[in-house]
Amino acid sequence: MSFLVRGLAARGDIRVIAADTSQLVETARNKHDASPTATAALGRSLTAGALLSHVLLKTPQDRITLRINGGGPLGGITVEAGLDGVLRGFVRHPDIAVPLREDGKLNVGEAVGRAGDFQVIRSHAPKGDPYTSSVPILTGEIAEDVSVFLANSEQINSAVLLGVYLETEGVFQAGGIIFQALPDADPAALDLLEANIQAHESLTDAMKSKALEDILRDLCWGLDFQLMTPEPFPLEFRCSCNEDRIMYALTFFSREERQAMIEEDGGAEAICQWCNTRYWITPEQLRELNAQSLN
């Protein structure tokens, strides 16, 4: 199960939000049949969405949408998340492959690109206009760009860790942490946190052998870390698409266009960009829609 936990450190000066998204990211990889580099980029972005929803949102009805468009061969990433723990997302070109970095790691920054914006859209249901804020992409590696967004757009100084580790059969580990410095935080506490992060192994390496709570205690060594969630908060990749929504979308086509679908294609196929689910609408369903439609 993928899950999120929250905590405090340094007598409440540092807010901690962390997530193990291994299963969630593996589900996304399977649904989109994504390449390793695309999986790493989408996985980091989905994890960022889960974490940011707990930083930026107030009610379970609200949602955030991340749009990361850096001009790279990946073609952009879109993620939607909320406080209900339900996420979905896609990359424009999930089959993309780029050369590895010199250190042998997946080159997410090259795939995403650095000539665009990191954008966050907050939707306040059931009323209220969406609020959009964005910053220029710094590295395309996602974690650094989330940190820049929080600092520049939200005036929140943060350290952000994101990682996805893949093996030949799929996603082995994925997760992320946001350490948020609250106003008037003790500089000595922030210096110690930075030193702990610098000395620690990578997040995904640590997740191979340690529970997420133990990793947080290691990273917050000397800072009196306290877990604030008695039970982990579940996260899942789940799309809201269904056949009824597809049928509704087809009402925006003309009667002639729907008739052409019947005659030329023997029906209509729709593919959800969020989860890659394919829907087949039969000629009988299209004829019934024509009979009920005014256009």
For the segment 176-189, the average pLDDT, to the nearest whole number, is 95
8 A C-beta contact, residue 142 and residue 68: yes
Report the amino acid identity of residue 62: D
8 A C-beta contact, residue 91 and residue 76: yes
For the segment 42-58, the average pLDDT, to the nearest whole number, is 96
265 token code pair: 């294609």
This prediction has a pTM of 0.93
Identify the CA nearest to 80 among candidates 65, 61, 69: 65
CATH number, domain of 198, equals 3.55.30.10
pLDDT tens by residue, 184-211: 999 999 999 999 999 999 999 999 999 9
For the segment 147-160, the average pLDDT, to the nearest whole number, is 93
Which of 200, 220, 237 represents a domain boundary (last residue)? 237
Which of 237, 256, 272 represents a domain boundary (last residue)? 237
Domain carrying residue 277 = 243-292
CATH number, domain of 262, equals 3.90.1280.10
Do both 16 and 103 map to the same domain? Answer: yes
